[in-house]
Structure 1
């Protein structure tokens, strides 16, 4: 690609050329708007340079615009960069995709709009649940792969990311759904066992149980913030270019294997052309791809879990993570199922699942909804004797979910989409990254469950 530096020697410095008007529909117009007058006597352009100037896909100032082009265009005004793959969104899934692509030897740029460690999306915080209790074979297979890939990332980064303290699921209701989960896990070689409520309480006195409990010792929690850092560092170790505070403002599809993306950083807009673009933008997915890709409905909500202080360390020192399923026959203060985990430096994290108000991610208040918060405190008082329901710190995060709660993992032309992970996606992070990387490289087709056509 010919860039401004190569064209600079060709630019005339004659002041009489200032303030000329580009005439629409001519190559001379396009050349002029690039800072070069193709009509100048004696100007000689190579075929490559002339083709570049007349390329209809090259973004330039509109014809009919006054332009002083007796000098070359500043790089602060416009630059064009070519890369193999651009990943938009540097949370967990985008970082995992960059790692997988870089490991495969691909040139990859990862653009993240916020600073490292920000709290504006869905990947921040000390821990996420690592829950293996799925009855669907698709998800169980992904979990088996994720466990292996988490181990590879730990080996590569030197960081301990998985804490396999176990996880309990209880409160299943009348449909005995945990039997199907237990059967799937057994078939996949993942250990799990049923405990009577009394036995579970004796083992974990900081929790209360009124139904049988499905305990999976190979579950637990994953370090969220540390995982994103480890993924990005590992990707960089394989040659990935990580760019923070770099916001994607527009995506254009040029051909089936070429896209153009405008990135803004510090008020400067840069254009990147990529053979493949992966969008893992979380709550901003619809804003970037709406009208361009036929997306399913993506519901963006602001969730408000809380960290509750531990009332007696002896009661929670060996706590597993937990999911408490709502009894659908009860009509009381419960908003949804409840999830939680011990976060050693912050207390016990407890939250409703997917019950927050729908929001615009660019207009968040980060303020809690008081009725839901009061209900969460009531839950803690009734079901978690190991915490103090009056001593808590609110948390705010976004969820981006589909109506089915299944992920979106698909490709349309040069754009690969990863979306809808909130509430149960973090544990799958390295598997999702591998799947999105394979889609971006054309190595696989989307699974039916996660395709845009499902």
Structure 2
């Protein structure tokens, strides 16, 4: 295989291009706008890196991904993972089970009472036991994309921005890829890492994808009441609300906390339906949540943004190869933390080196 085209320059596409270029493959990245653009799922400086998964499969995958983030940060010459720690709590989060999973994989943690957590983090209000992961933190997603794109370029990859893929045809071991501008590119293999635009390309894939739900998620930045260094990230899942929060970093001018309701936005046909508008009802739900559970924040958002989530019914990723086509959709709102590792998995699948894990495979 001499030439691989990668559709999409978000976290997954950029990671795949970097890893393919490391294999000495000729790579062309086709991006409809610019890498990590605001219409997709990989923009901004704040994504949660956490080990706590109830499923040991994903917890182990995070532990493996950590070394890949260290490799990327060293190669890029900039820190991309900031350790601020993470808290998990709520009736449906089951901190005790999460602690057992982390014990089994050797990740350091503490299981705290609500009173202990309140003493340690007075700006937070928790409603039960809390799992503390000190080695968790925040990923700078946009900087990671730009770093991987640049590393791929330095290794010989070609980057084509403003090249919107409208479809492709696989024939006799080659792939012809069409653009909205009427251009065509031929490659030996194509990796489709189109994120929220994947539904528009699904008809050309040699797979039966699981149902993909695309939603327009909304996040809000709230100022700290008191000067702080680093608040931890939080994942809170109760019987009536699911929310996450993290230091907003560059997106929030380093003076506020990012808070969002998990899957609180409306369904849209694809990422093209992300109009950037904020739903006032969603904003009010998050403001009410901050008032109750994050009293160390002033419950008045000073910045807000939208982001696209592409979710499968099981929340598993979809990564598979058939002939000259690989699909790479590490979606469901939790793929960012695995990015450089997923690039290795996708590249190995596309090159026929190692198949992806069985649970990522798509039905033929």
Tell me if both proteins adopt one fold, taking TM over 0.5 as the criterion: yes
Q: Which runs of 5+ in 1 are unaligned?
A: 1-81
Pick closer, same or farther for the CA change 1:158–1:270 going to 2, 3 Å: same
**Structure 1 residue 137, shift from structure 2 partner:** 2.6
1:379 is the counterpart of 2:289: yes
Could you tell me whether the CA contact under 8 Å between 2:11 and 2:36 is conserved in 1? no
Give structure 1 regions of 4+ aligned residues with deviation exceeding 4 angstroms.
none
Post-superposition Cα deviations, 1:359-398, rounded to whole Å, max 9, x if no partner, equal: 1332432112221211110001111111111243221111
**Structure 1 residue 161, shift from structure 2 partner:** 0.3
1:207 is the counterpart of 2:128: no
- Count of aligned residue pairs for this structure pair: 358
1:272 is the counterpart of 2:177: no
**1:310, 1:401 → 2: CA distance?**
32
**Structure 1 residue 153, shift from structure 2 partner:** 0.7
Range that drifts further, 396-405 or 351-360:
351-360
* SS in structure 1 of the partner of residue 25 of structure 2: coil
**Which of 70, 79, 84 is the equivalent residue of 2:3?**
84
* SS in structure 2 of the partner of residue 354 of structure 1: coil
Q: Which residue of 1 aligns with 2:279?
A: 369
Could you tell me whether the CA contact under 8 Å between 1:312 and 1:386 is conserved in 2? yes
Could you tell me whether the CA contact under 8 Å between 2:46 and 2:249 is conserved in 1? no
Could you tell me whether the CA contact under 8 Å between 1:323 and 1:340 is conserved in 2? yes
Q: Which residue of 1 aligns with 2:349?
A: 439
**Which of 248, 253, 261 is the equivalent residue of 2:177?**
261
* SS in structure 2 of the partner of residue 259 of structure 1: strand
TM-score normalised over the length of structure 1: 0.76
* SS in structure 2 of the partner of residue 358 of structure 1: coil
1:449 is the counterpart of 2:363: no
Could you tell me whether the CA contact under 8 Å between 1:96 and 1:429 is conserved in 2? yes
Post-superposition Cα deviations, 1:157-202, rounded to whole Å, max 9, x if no partner, equal: 10100001110001134xx733332222222221111111111111
Q: Which residue of 2 aligns with 1:430?
A: 340
Could you tell me whether the CA contact under 8 Å between 2:35 and 2:145 is conserved in 1? no
1:126 is the counterpart of 2:126: no
Q: Which residue of 1 aligns with 2:74?
A: 155
**Structure 1 residue 83, shift from structure 2 partner:** 5.7
**Structure 1 residue 317, shift from structure 2 partner:** 2.7
* SS in structure 1 of the partner of residue 72 of structure 2: helix
Pick closer, same or farther for the CA change 1:363–1:214 going to 2, 3 Å: closer
Q: Which residue of 1 aligns with 2:243?
A: 338
* SS in structure 1 of the partner of residue 32 of structure 2: coil
Could you tell me whether the CA contact under 8 Å between 2:12 and 2:342 is conserved in 1? yes
* SS in structure 2 of the partner of residue 304 of structure 1: strand
Pick closer, same or farther for the CA change 1:453–1:292 going to 2, 3 Å: closer
Could you tell me whether the CA contact under 8 Å between 2:10 and 2:35 is conserved in 1? no
**1:92, 1:363 → 2: CA distance?**
20
Larger Rg over CA atoms:
1
Q: Which residue of 1 aligns with 2:59?
A: 140
1:280-295 equivalences under 5 Å are 280-290=193-203, 292-293=205-206, 294-295=208-209
Could you tell me whether the CA contact under 8 Å between 2:76 and 2:151 is conserved in 1? yes
**1:292, 1:312 → 2: CA distance?**
52
Q: Which residue of 1 aligns with 2:102?
A: 185
* SS in structure 2 of the partner of residue 395 of structure 1: strand
**Structure 1 residue 225, shift from structure 2 partner:** 1.1
Q: Which residue of 2 aligns with 1:39?
A: none
**Structure 1 residue 342, shift from structure 2 partner:** 1.1
**Structure 1 residue 399, shift from structure 2 partner:** 0.7
Q: Which structure's relative contact order is higher, taking Cα pairs within 8 Å and 6+ residues apart?
A: 2
CA RMSD of aligned residues (A): 1.8
**1:83, 1:271 → 2: CA distance?**
18
